[in-house]
Structure 1
Amino acid sequence: MTRSIYEQALASQFDKLHPRIQERFGFSSKDQAASIGQGVMERIWFAKWAVLPLALGASRHIMFPQGGSHIPFTIENYAYQDKFGRETITWIRKFQFKRTIRHFDATMIYSEERRQIVDYLGNKQHLAVDLDITAASNGGIRIRSGDQRFYEGILQFTFPPQLTGIAEVMEWYDDELEKFRISVHVSNPMFGSVFHYEGSFEAQLISLNHIPLDAMPLRQEKRE
């Protein structure tokens, strides 16, 4: 039986999640389903000193140097097995600013070797990030990034901590609002806050027969 990558990572903690969070994070490729959501980011903020690295990341759908308030966005999570046979979940996020749509994409796998989830940021899977995932006291899911590795052709290396962005992610279900809430904060050990957004959204599981081509990464990386 194929379990979701989050069930594998959380083990017994998965039962502590809110039922709606379990639904959003509990499906796998065998279910032939996707979680499709839309909502509003109440605030998106970035550090002005980080414009250049964020602009470079934006070219590969990794964050972006743009901020604002009340920004509509969509989120698409598809489950499938990649060409290496690994259970995979997509994170396709689109932020609809007045004059442009910004993307923040990722694909996550559960690494048996590392015994944790590995997050490939961007649309070419050249940046692999270890994720520590726990159940929060409010029934939400908490994610904190760890070691980050760069893969491009024969080139591969682990970033020193001073050059990384540490991500703190919290997603939970608000029973009063009847919506999911999300908060993402990225910081650097030396320079402080880099990027932050928070908002709310509605999401539903839908059935599907195939994964849309534009939801797949342009390149799949075997190295974890």
Structure 2
Amino acid sequence: MTSIFRTAMGADFDRLHPQLRRRFSVGLASGQACTGRGVMDRIWHGPAFVKPFLALGATRNILVPRAGRAVPFVIENVPYTDSFGRETVSFVRTFDLPGRARRFDAQMVLGPKGDRILDYLGTHQHLATDLRFHAEPDGSLLIRSGAHRFREGVVDARVPELIGATAEVRESYDDAAGRFRIRVSVVNRYFGPLFGYEGSFTATYTDVRRCGVRPGLRPVREEARA
């Protein structure tokens, strides 16, 4: 048994930098969780009309409604089995912005066909998207999202392109600095860049079988639909 990320990427996983391979080997098989701590050099937003949508998403820990520079940052990647029996890895990001910390939550599972990652966003997993993972020639990792789907009760609808967005994540390892570097950009097809952040962090690894999953890390509601 391997990590959900190795399974989704197949042989491409072995082209990643060794430190990225270790970080994305977190899972129930390895028994390891990863915590990254660092600084986001910049958190940015697009035009002013974007802010109300970011503020709405922030009520469910989706995206971040404030901009900032030199913002302390923590990301918690912890594997567990969700209520539907699926191996899940948390991607809970906390940005220590002045006045109030903000969270951006996601939980990732292996897609039904095993060739992609299914990303559930927020505290109630109302939004879901497919993620494609690719190793770049320099050993960095490129992640691209697909269309988002909204799920609530009997509602199961694709988010229209006019109000939807796609995300691109680039993560690499800087050998000279001994740090991971990350750059995230969320873009709407019609309105351009909406939100993003970039910075760096170091990682520590713990035995999840010994430490478990801390309270508040798992979502309030879990969604079964892929």
User: Where has structure 1 moved over 3 Å in runs of 4 or more?
Assistant: none
Question: What is the CA–CA distance in structure 1 between the aligned matches of 2:195 and 2:173, rounded to whole Å?
Answer: 23
Over the matched positions of the two proteins, sequence identity in percent amounts to 43
Distance 1:178 1:17, change over 3 A: same
For residue 130 of structure 2, what is the aligned residue in structure 1? 130
For residue 184 of structure 1, what is the aligned residue in structure 2? 184
Question: What is the CA–CA distance in structure 2 between the aligned matches of 1:215 and 1:65, rounded to whole Å?
Answer: 20
Question: What is the CA–CA distance in structure 1 between the aligned matches of 2:115 and 2:177, rounded to whole Å?
Answer: 35
Q: How does 1:29-108 map to 2 (within 5 A)?
A: 29-47=28-46, 48-108=48-108
The TM-score normalised by the length of structure 2 is 0.95
CA-CA distance at 1:137 after TM superposition: 1.7
Secondary structure in 1 matching 2:7: helix
Question: What is the CA–CA distance in structure 2 between the aligned matches of 1:92 and 1:28, rounded to whole Å?
Answer: 15
Task: Describe the superposition over 1:2-25 as per-residue Cα deviations: whole angstroms up to 9, x where unpaired.
Answer: x11110111000000001000000
Question: What is the CA–CA distance in structure 1 between the aligned matches of 2:62 and 2:179, rounded to whole Å?
Answer: 25
For residue 16 of structure 2, what is the aligned residue in structure 1? 17
Q: Answer yes or no: is the 8 Å Cα contact 2:76–2:90 preserved in 1.
A: yes
Question: What is the CA–CA distance in structure 1 between the aligned matches of 2:64 and 2:215, rounded to whole Å?
Answer: 23
In structure 1, runs of 5+ residues without a counterpart are none
Question: Is the deviation greater in 189-198 or in 44-53?
Answer: 44-53
For residue 211 of structure 1, what is the aligned residue in structure 2? 213
Question: What is the CA–CA distance in structure 1 between the aligned matches of 2:51 and 2:75, rounded to whole Å?
Answer: 24
Question: What is the CA–CA distance in structure 1 between the aligned matches of 2:193 and 2:200, rounded to whole Å?
Answer: 21
Task: Describe the superposition over 1:78-136 as per-residue Cα deviations: whole angstroms up to 9, x where unpaired.
Answer: 01121212111101100001211011010001112473111001111110011111011
CA-CA distance at 1:27 after TM superposition: 2.2
Question: What is the CA–CA distance in structure 1 between the aligned matches of 2:117 and 2:162, rounded to whole Å?
Answer: 22
Aligned residues: 223
CA-CA distance at 1:160 after TM superposition: 2.0
Question: What is the CA–CA distance in structure 2 between the aligned matches of 1:107 and 1:127, rounded to whole Å?
Answer: 11
